């Protein structure tokens, strides 16, 4: 039987694998996609300490290499469920035999909800972003737009207003869904404006980077092109937690309810990274979760031995 199974090979899972290897745990990290999670599909990362401007794929490879050098064991697979029998957890896989373990760290992350419009995927990392906190500094003095109308969109617009020369909020309705006080504050900023009753139908490019967006009025269906250097899509996140729902630890938005120690309500099951309900979701906070989760796992395994 394993001491620990880590599900997910993003920053949280890889950090947990490094710490588990250092603690000489009998652990396996299961990955279904490319190691690194979202950072593997990101352009430059400019906010991780000591690695300014590192390319996302390079960073992901460095994380995985570090884990391998420490002795972490990887297994390819897709987890379909977890059977909880008290001190024993059975990890069910789409292909292959189940794994039995004493403890589990779920670190499958969350993915940004996309709009699915032409140009979006091709320009991701080249002007299309899903994180203003991560990428806002790349657009200093430039014109950008934020697509969305909720709290995240408003927070992104507020953050970007300090860096970009102009921020355009594009929303399909005639008012923002965000909290009224926050909406009023951001709309009162001189370099922030709103395009109401409008949807983005295409992201345009020039020289491999974003050059503008095609916007359609939802009432009269007229289209126009807005020249912008960056498009920030803020229509929510989708936590990858379907396999955890039967355990009763997932909230109405799909996030796992776990504290800063990463403990869930199920003894021996921990949650780390972007799938956890929390205020800030960054590479550095995911990595911190991975370390915190291992400390909690160690304490849990010690209690089992008593």
In the residue annotation, 261 being an active-site residue is answered as no
* pLDDT of 128: 96
User: Which residues does the chain have with pLDDT short of 50?
Assistant: none
Backbone torsions φ then ψ of 288, nearest 5 degrees:
-60, -40
Q: Which residue of the set 3, 46, 95, 135 is catalytic?
A: 135
Catalytic site includes residue 134 = yes
Within the chain, where are the H helices?
11-22, 56-70, 132-135, 151-161, 180-187, 283-305
Selecting among 3, 46, 134, 229, the annotated active-site residue is: 134
Run of H or E residues at 224: strand 223-227
Per-residue pLDDT reduced to its tens digit, 199-223:
999 999 999 999 999 999 999 999 9
Concerning whether 145 is annotated as a catalytic residue, the answer is: no
Catalytic residue among 131, 145, 274, 289: 131
Cα–Cα–Cα angle for 170, 175, 180, rounded to 5 degrees: 115
State both tokens at 198: 């409008």
Q: Using DSSP, state whether 85 is helix, strand or coil.
A: strand
pLDDT at 213: 98
pLDDT the model gives residue 222: 95
CA distance 52 to 125: 16
**pTM score:** 0.78
């Amino acid at each position: 039987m394993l001491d620990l199974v880590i599900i997910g090979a993003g920053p949280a899972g890889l950090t947990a694998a490094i710490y588990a290897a250092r603690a000489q745990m009998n652990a396996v990290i299961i990955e279904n996609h490319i190691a690194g999670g979202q950072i593997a599909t990101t352009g430059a990362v400019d906010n991780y300490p000591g690695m300014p401007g590192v390319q996302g794929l390079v960073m992901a490879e460095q994380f995985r290499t570090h884990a391998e050098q420490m002795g972490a064991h990887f297994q390819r697979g897709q987890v379909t469920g977890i059977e909880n029998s008290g001190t024993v957890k059975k990890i069910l896989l789409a292909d292959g035999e189940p794994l039995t373990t004493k403890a589990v760290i779920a670190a499958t992350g969350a993915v940004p909800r996309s709009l699915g419009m032409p140009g979006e995927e091709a320009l991701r990392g080249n002007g299309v972003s899903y994180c203003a906190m991560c990428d806002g500094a790349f657009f200093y003095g430039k014109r950008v737009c934020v697509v969305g109308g909720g709290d995240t969109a408003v927070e992104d617009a507020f953050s970007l207003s300090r860096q970009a020369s102009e921020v355009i909020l594009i929303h399909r309705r005639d008012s923002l869904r965000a909290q009224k006080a926050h909406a009023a504050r951001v709309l009162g900023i001189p370099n922030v404006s709103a395009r109401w009753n409008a949807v983005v139908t295409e992201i345009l490019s020039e020289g491999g980077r974003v050059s503008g967006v095609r916007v359609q009025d939802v009432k009269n269906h007229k289209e126009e092109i807005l020249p912008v250097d960056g498009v920030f899509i803020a229509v929510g996140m989708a936590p990858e937690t379907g396999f955890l729902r039967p355990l009763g630890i997932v909230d109405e938005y799909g996030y796992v309810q776990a504290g800063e120690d990463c403990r869930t309500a199920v003894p021996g099951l921990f949650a780390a990274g972007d799938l956890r309900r929390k205020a800030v979701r960054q590479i550095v906070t995911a990595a911190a979760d991975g370390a915190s989760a291992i400390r909690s796992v160690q304490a849990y395994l010690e209690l089992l031995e008593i």
